[in-house]
């Protein structure tokens, strides 16, 4: 069995960004990935602006003895072009307004006394005080969002701040997903003896959609080799990735592995991790008429285990970074925290364990009492996964590596 690091390296070395791109309105680009850098065509702010309500002045005018009372020569709201400041005068100015030519400081209104059309300056400002200089945030010609950036709400705002109405992004990753197991029943249907509800369909589709994928759901495929092969052939034609759940173990009713080997290839199977040992990676051939010089002759394949926590954990640790690389992102490694274990785990496992845990009020981690791969409750109760090395027991007070779900679900 491969270690988790070896398995992840195998997947990521095979992934590269999809080639299709499109131009879409900036307002519609949330969670899409930039295929081209955003370069600012202007300075931000595009002129010197006031960062306070107050008065624009020439500091040299205050240097003259007794010259603290100045006539107000103009009023400058935000969005209005000022006139040059007349020597020996002040300009009433508001936050965000353009500083008039000739002024070199702003005195906030709390440090002044206004009377009629004059103002008394009660403070001696330094040149540049309360002025936001042109280009203080962004310089014209600078890259503000590099290619490979996943567009957050604040990134959209940044692009809009330099006037970008449209953005060049990669197309969505196309993922086909299906589930195997004659025991699977959809919610709303009668639960027959020996059957279980198909929770994985809801979890995995939700995870794929959260990553921004274009998902085709083939539903539950019968536990038959020919049905599995037929679904793989169909799914391979128009997708970048086929994701399955269940059927990748070694039982007589586990048909996904032999089906993929018949329709393509497997380059990885089984990982030394808990939960989630039976993880398969490979590719499925596309029909000859579908392959051309501009398209790959294969569609990637990842087969997840059927236990709900196993499929959830392996998706987060392996499928997520793989899909993000296909989507064009450059940084896909989740950030981990070093936190205190407020529990004892005496039994060490020979595999790399990923334990469901959550933060407590004291800043440490509590462990969910039942770490079975069938206990989906732990994924809702927990805040993340403890990455526990093989053959390592955890002592109370020990520092452990914790990967928050906020990172893994991003």
CATH code for the domain of 293: 3.40.980.10
CATH number at residue 152: 3.90.105.10
| 214 & 283 share domain | yes
Q: Is the same domain home to 187 and 280?
A: yes
Q: Are residues 260 and 351 in the same domain?
A: no
Q: Are both 345 and 364 inside the same structural domain?
A: yes
Same domain, 218 and 288: yes
Query: What CA–CA distance (Å, rounded) separates 119 from 47?
Result: 25
112 and 95 fall within a common domain: yes
On whether both 189 and 149 belong to a single domain, the answer is no
223 inside domain: yes
**Tokens 């893994």 label which residue?**
408
Neighbours of 153 (CB within 10 A): 9
> Is the torsion defined by CA of 307, 313, 318, 323 positive or negative?
positive
Closest CA to 238 of 325, 144, 173: 173
Q: What is the H or E stretch that residue 355 is in?
A: strand 352-359
Residue 245 and residue 193 share a domain: yes
Kindly state whether residues 372 and 347 are assigned to the same domain: yes
Residue 151 in domain: yes
The H or E element containing residue 77 is none
- Residue 410 domain-assigned (yes or no): no
Non-local CB neighbours of 75 within 8 Å, separated by 6+ positions: 91, 92, 93
Contact status, residue 159 vs residue 32, Cβ threshold 8 Å: no
Choose among 301, 169, 175: nearest CA to 238.
175
Residue 146 lies in a domain: yes
CATH number at residue 346: 2.40.340.10
Q: Is residue 409 part of a domain?
A: no
The span from the first CA to the last CA of the chain, in angstroms, equals 29
pLDDT tens per residue across span 131-190: 999 999 999 999 999 999 999 999 999 999 999 999 999 999 999 999 987 788 889 988
pLDDT for the residue 270: 85
Global pTM exceeds 0.75: yes
150 plus 114 within the same structural domain: no
**Residue 63 pLDDT:** 78
Instruction: For residue 89, give the CATH number of its domain.
Output: 2.170.190.11
SS3 state at 341: strand
Pair 122, 197 in one domain:
no
Element (H, E) at 19: none
In a domain? residue 110: yes
**For residue 278, what pLDDT is reported?**
85
Cβ atoms 148, 330 nearer than 8 A: yes
Report how many domains make up the chain. Answer: 4
Handedness of CA 376, 378, 381, 383 (dihedral sign): negative
Is residue 321 one of the residues assigned to a domain? Answer: yes
Of 302, 326, 350, the position where a domain reaches its end is 326
Which range marks the domain in which residue 189 is found?
4-19+172-326
Looking at residue 116, its pLDDT comes to 93
Same domain, 63 and 15: no
In a domain, 332, yes or no: no
Spell out the per-residue pLDDT of the chain, length 410, in tens: 899 999 999 999 999 999 999 999 999 999 999 999 999 999 999 999 999 999 999 999 987 656 689 999 999 999 999 999 999 999 999 999 999 999 999 999 999 999 999 999 999 999 999 999 999 999 999 999 999 999 999 999 999 999 999 999 999 999 999 998 778 888 998 888 888 889 999 999 999 999 999 999 999 898 889 999 999 999 999 999 999 998 765 555 568 889 999 999 998 778 999 998 888 999 999 986 554 544 569 999 999 998 999 999 999 999 999 999 999 998 999 999 999 999 999 999 999 999 999 999 999 999 999 999 999 999 999 999 999 999 999 999 999 999 999 999 98
Long-range CB pairs of 27-30, under 8 A, 24+ apart, other chains included: 27/156, 29/151, 29/156, 29/159, 29/167, 29/169, 30/151, 30/152, 30/153, 30/156
Phi, psi angle pair for 6, to nearest 5°: -65, -40
């Amino acid at each position: 069995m491969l270690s988790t690091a070896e398995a992840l390296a195998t997947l990521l070395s095979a992934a590269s960004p999809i080639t299709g791109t499109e131009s879409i309105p900036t307002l519609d680009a949330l969670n899409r990935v930039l295929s081209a850098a955003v370069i600012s065509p202007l300075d931000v702010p595009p002129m010197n602006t006031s960062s306070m309500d107050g008065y624009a002045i020439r500091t040299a005018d205050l240097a003259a003895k007794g010259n603290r009372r100045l006539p107000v020569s103009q009023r400058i709201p935000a969005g209005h072009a000022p006139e040059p400041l007349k020597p020996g005068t002040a300009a009433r100015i508001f936050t965000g307004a353009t500083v008039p030519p000739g002024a070199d400081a702003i005195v906030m209104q709390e440090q002044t006394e206004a009377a009629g059309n004059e103002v008394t300056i009660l403070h001696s400002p330094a040149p540049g005080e309360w002025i936001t200089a042109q280009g203080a945030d962004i310089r014209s010609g600078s890259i503000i969002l590099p290619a490979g950036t996943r567009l957050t709400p604040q990134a959209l705002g940044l692009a809009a701040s330099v006037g970008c109405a449209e953005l060049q992004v990669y197309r969505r990753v196309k993922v086909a997903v299906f589930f195997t197991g004659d025991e699977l029943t959809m919610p709303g249907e009668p639960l027959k003896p020996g059957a279980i509800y198909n929770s994985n369909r809801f979890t995995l589709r939700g995870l794929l959609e959260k990553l921004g994928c274009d998902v085709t759901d083939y539903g539950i495929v019968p536990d038959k080799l020919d049905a599995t092969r037929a679904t793989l052939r169909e799914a391979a034609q128009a997708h970048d990735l086929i994701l399955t759940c269940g059927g990748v173990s070694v039982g007589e009713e586990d048909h996904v592995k032999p089906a993929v080997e018949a329709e393509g290839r497997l380059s990885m199977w089984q990982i030394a991790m808990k939960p989630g040992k039976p993880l398969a990676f490979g590719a499925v051939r596309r029909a000859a008429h579908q392959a051309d010089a501009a398209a790959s002759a294969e569609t990637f394949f990842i087969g997840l285990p059927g236990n709900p926590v196993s499929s959830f954990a392996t998706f987060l640790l392996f499928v997520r970074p793989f899909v993000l690389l296909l989507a064009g992102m450059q940084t896909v490694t989740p950030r981990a925290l070093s936190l205190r274990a407020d529990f004892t785990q005496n039994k060490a496992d020979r595999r790399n364990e990923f334990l469901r845990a959550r933060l407590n009020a004291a800043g440490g981690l509590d462990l969910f009492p039942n770490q079975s791969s069938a206990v989906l409750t732990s994924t809702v109760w927990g805040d993340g996964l403890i990455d526990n090395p093989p053959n390592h027991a955890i002592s109370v007070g020990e520092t452990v590596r914790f990967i928050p779900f906020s990172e893994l679900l991003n």
